[in-house]
Chains A and B, each alone.
Chain A
Amino acid sequence: MKLELRGITKRFGTFTANDDIDLTVEPGEIHCLLGENGAGKSTLMNTLFGLYRPDEGQIVIDGTDVHFHDPGDAMDAGIGMVHQHFMLVPVFTVAENVMLGHELTKGGLLDIEAARNQVLELSKLYNLEVDPDALVEDLPVGVQQRVEIIKALVKDAQILILDEPTAVLTPQETDELLEIIRQLKASGRSIVMISHKLREIKAVADRITVIRRGKVVGTALPTDSETDLAAMMVGRAVSLKVDKEEADPKDVVLQIRGLTVRSETGQAMVDSVDLDVRGGEVVCIAGVQGNGQTELTQAILGLQHTVTGSVMLNGEELLGLSTRRVLDSGIGFVPEDRSDDGLVGSFSIAENMILDQYRNEPFAKGVMMKPSVIAAHAEEKAEEFDVRTTGVQLPASSLSGGNQQKVVLARELSKPVVSLFLASQPTRGVDVGAIEFVHKRVIAERDAGVAVLIVSTELDEVAALADRVAVMYSGKIIGIVPPDTPRGVLGLMMAGVPQDAAAHDAAAGADEEGAK
């Protein structure tokens, strides 16, 4: 099936999200849409999927004009979409989710057996390992995504749109997904993948279309260098490596001793962790999602309940203090899940910029808040951190994900006294141009003598930022290694292999490769 978009234009009020976009997807092609957050990639795909109607332009499939009034029409035409945020019913099983909307019946009753077989058949065909009887809420994110893909395949999608499919995945899950995408291509389907992760795009794409500020700025090939791709996407030269001097570590700022966090069921989520972070150094905690990193950062902030051990900031115990006291003692904190923990979506951008500063001068005096000061502050920070918006009084939910993250970073990096900057996934869902900016800011903080602790599942980020890497597995820190440790070793350590053995295994693996 050949898909052509001709001159698609979509406006929201006076804002043009898509401006005269042409795009051709050949049968059996993996076509990547590359662009910054807010460039209009998702709008374009939502238009293609029938969620929006274009103001101008045509959608042409195999030479005939089509008009989609809703996603149902698009699905009937053979287009499937996996959204960034999954559209699954958590309390339904995989099979039930897959049949939802086109339920198979037998004698008036749901034919679950048929749906199960469909799932099994497809998962065998494309290596989409998934248990049809598992409840969706019990499945890890990567598997939920497979369910979404199966949903599209059951409806016989010939063109599959994947909106930032790897944003929520661990490195291993990402590799698996890319393999699945290749297999789908081999079966003759076309894939349109939205992403701003250059490594992945280079790994799977046949062709790349770059979109900037609503317009197609060019096409590229996966053989083009990452620097070229990034420059095309951002519109200027971008350095992908963080320029930084050797760290100059000073006194220990954060001292964690024997920190243990238990879940409600008594399970140790964080298991006697010892860690020091000095002023002027960046320590990255690397690990696969769900190995206790979230609980560790929350424990430092006073957001966890059953915590034992000790967390000292500049010699003062933090455990037992309220979150407010912890924050006021000089910690900048970027939570892992910005929309859930970092922002109040219905609040204005200006209000979000002071979400944990609202009681402090100059934003308030006593109980009186000062809206004009708050607005001026927001204007200034939006400018400084390049938050793309038409006004700071708009709700934060009107921003794209990357810009929301910039709001959180702007807030946490603008605090008066920060002695520790603690960030979980600071660049998740943020595009290359903004990542460069965030990384620079983090290093600038480090150079100003701030202790920086970053939790990241992105090995690229870890390698770029860290002065020391602490690998976390199953609630424990299983080793602290230098940032130039080979990816293979880090990967094995993240899977729980101790440092020495990991280095040995990785070396052996490399030898084998060499022998072939």
Chain B
Amino acid sequence: MSNTELLTEATAPVPETNKPRRYWLDQVILYALSFLLALVISGILIAFANPDVRDASQYFFSAPMDTLSAAWTAISEAYKALFSGSVINFSAYTVSDALKPFTETLYTSTSLIFAGLAVALPFRAGLFNIGAQGQLILGAIFAGYVGFTFSMPFPVHLIVAIGAGILGGAIWGGIAGALKSQTGAHEVIVTIMLNWIAIYFLQFLLTKDAFQREGRDDPLSPAVDTAARLPKILGDDYRLNLGFILALLAAGFVWWLLERSTVGFEFRAVGANPNAARTAGINVKRALFSVMAIAGGLAGLAGMNQILGGATEYALGNGIAGEIGFDAITVALLGKSNPIGVVLAGILMGGLRAGGSSMQAATSTPIDIVLVMQSLIVLFIAAPPLVRKIFRLRAPESK
């Protein structure tokens, strides 16, 4: 195993002064290996789920190579489809078609990045925001309502709708923050309950005239005015729109907020040691409230992106939020609550989503495999000692 030896070399202790670099190197290796392990285990599942492999395995003992080659074909086909559905399609005729899958990945990742930030930010202040789902729904309701009710010229309408989305999410997050800071109610319980309230609130609204599409009885709103839709940035052939740029800006904002602003300093201090923060004159209650309101605003942007970005044909329905608010927790964990990490994790998850659909279409591999893969990656990243054990890496010694 010369490969493993190389890796061991790479993680061997280096002088103290280089500690940050060594840390990042260690992290990159850990992530890469976690991804590799997840691919291997998912590959085994893909093989088991494949009908050809199952057929061949019935005469495994007379011709074992048949089973193995069927398994190899199944796994390689599935992963090829996953890759060509999320990164580059090599069988496309034009360059633009070949790159289309990656734009789909970015498109799919947009809401995940917004919502991932909504979970990551409160993490840094010591709060576990399970409520991105509810905050996202409120953001979608506000943005959607402004989008399909009023009529304004192009940039104005879009800006007002985006603002409304932020406001809707911020109100929902702010309620959780106020309950936490004023009464000490646990944010996990409060946000879970607020998720349910948001879900049923949306169902209720969709039965009201103001939210119902004319001539329809099912719970579906009118489509958002074209002036309030997020413009596509690579032409009409691609779904990728301004939302992704906004998500990058939001990540940049969160980074700045945490690392460079006095407000973020307060958030981090409250998260790391509330006693010391209080003694240093930081208003802990206000910090808890603000961080939840800002997080709600970020989740509201995810909701805004869902409806103004065309994920649901620009209309509000019960499925507007999908599972994004919950996948956001995975994204935040995967990104280690770091804004740049959240962007990368969001793109990874978006890629698995986008690629998973084409994998299902091309190879009849169930898309659920993608969920398994996601879960495995998170599981391995959450348990570095396990990965180190499997690859026999040395743990970095700390004082």
Contacts and interface: CB of A to CB of B under 8 A. Distances in A.
Interface string A368-398: 1101000000000000000000100000001
A342 B276 contact: yes
Q: Is the interface of A mostly helix, strand, loop or mixed?
A: mixed
A334 to B, nearest CB: 10
Interface residues of A, number: 35
Contacts of A344: 268-269, 272-273, 276-277
Interface in B12-59: 13, 15-17, 19
A359 B269 CA distance: 13
Interface in A1-43: 12-15
Contact of B276 (A14, A328, A343, A369): A343
Nearest to B16: A13
Interface stretch (A161-169, A319-327, A468-476, A483-491): A319-327
A347 B281 contact: no
Contacts of B397: 12
B16 A341 contact: no
A16 to B, nearest CB: 11
B279 A333 contact: yes
A333 B265 CA distance: 20
A515 interface: no
Given A13-B16, A15-B16, A368-B261, A326 B281 contact: yes
B276 to A, nearest CB: 5
B280 A364 contact: no
Contact of B16 (A14, A301, A335, A346): A14
Contact of B281 (A323, A335, A340, A367): A323
B301 to A, nearest CB: 21
Nearest to B273: A344
Nearest to B13: A13
A322 B16 contact: no
Interface stretch (A69-77, A189-197, A282-290, A350-358): A350-358
Interface string B280-317: 11110000000000000000000000000000000000
A328 B280 CA distance: 10
A340 B276 contact: yes
B265 A322 contact: no
Given A13-B13, A13-B16, A14-B15, A359 B273 contact: no
B265 A351 contact: yes
B275 interface: yes
A240 interface: no
B275 A341 contact: yes
A355 B16 contact: no
B262 A341 contact: no
Interface in B137-186: none
A358 B275 CA distance: 17
Contacts of B268: 344, 347
Given A343-B276, A344-B276, A355-B269, A322 B281 contact: yes
B281 A369 contact: no
A335 B275 CA distance: 11
Contact of B399 (A333, A345, A368, A398): A398
Contacts of B16: 12-15, 390
Nearest to B257: A367
B208 interface: no
Contact of A340 (B15, B260, B262, B275): B275
A322 B276 contact: no
A368 B278 CA distance: 21
A324 B273 CA distance: 17
A369 B260 CA distance: 5
A327 B262 contact: no
A101 B15 CA distance: 38
A303 interface: yes
A303 B265 contact: no
B372 interface: no
Nearest to B270: A344
Interface in A60-87: none
A208 B306 CA distance: 72
B263 interface: yes
A345 B273 CA distance: 8
A303 B284 CA distance: 12
Interface in A137-171: none
Contacts of A340: 273, 275-276
B368 to A, nearest CB: 38
Nearest to B264: A369
Contacts of A356: 279-281
11 contacts: A12-B399, A324-B283, A340-B275, A342-B279, A344-B268, A346-B272, A347-B272, A358-B265, A369-B262, A371-B260, A398-B399
Interface of B: 13, 15-17, 19, 260-263, 265-266, 268-269, 272-273, 275-283, 397, 399
Interface of A: 12-15, 301, 303, 322-328, 333, 335, 340-347, 351, 355-356, 358-359, 364, 367-369, 371, 390, 398
Q: Which 8 A-B pairs have the closest CB atoms?
A: A324-B281, A13-B16, A356-B280, A323-B281, A344-B273, A341-B279, A355-B280, A327-B281
Given A351-B265, A355-B269, 11 more contacts: A324-B282, A342-B279, A344-B268, A344-B269, A344-B272, A345-B272, A358-B262, A358-B265, A367-B261, A369-B262, A398-B399
